[in-house]
Amino acid sequence: MTGRRLLASLALGAAVLGAVVLVSCGRTRTATESDCAALLDRLVELELVERGFHDPALVARWRTGAQAKFAPELAACRGRRVPSNAVACAARATTAEEVAHRCLR
């Protein structure tokens, strides 16, 4: 996988993160800065693993890069309504798609 395709996947993840304006039935809460960062970090980790990259140093490098690249989306995420279990759900998720379709709805 090229870096460009991986960035496109991460951009999709960031778009999902940026679209955390949710109309959720039930319990929601206001996302904190650490919630938003944790969700993006988990999306980065899952995208890399899904593409066969398992090196912790690479994951750390991509997390740092994604946080810088998607700083505006992270800032917009803060204060948005998210399901109360979004971060815990993302931590248990096995794919980025699961985070987008199950944890953030």
Residue 39 has pLDDT above 80, yes or no: yes
Place of tokens 């750390």: 60
Contacts of 89 (CB under 8 A, 6+ apart): 83, 99, 102, 103
**Rounded-to-integer distance, Cα 93 and Cα 25, Å:** 20
Tens digit of each residue's pLDDT (9 = 90 or more) over 91-105: 999 999 999 999 988
Residue 22 has pLDDT above 90, yes or no: no
pTM, entire model: 0.76
What's the rounded mean pLDDT across residues 54-63? 94
Give the pLDDT of residue 23: 42
Tens digit of each residue's pLDDT (9 = 90 or more) over 41-50: 999 999 999 9
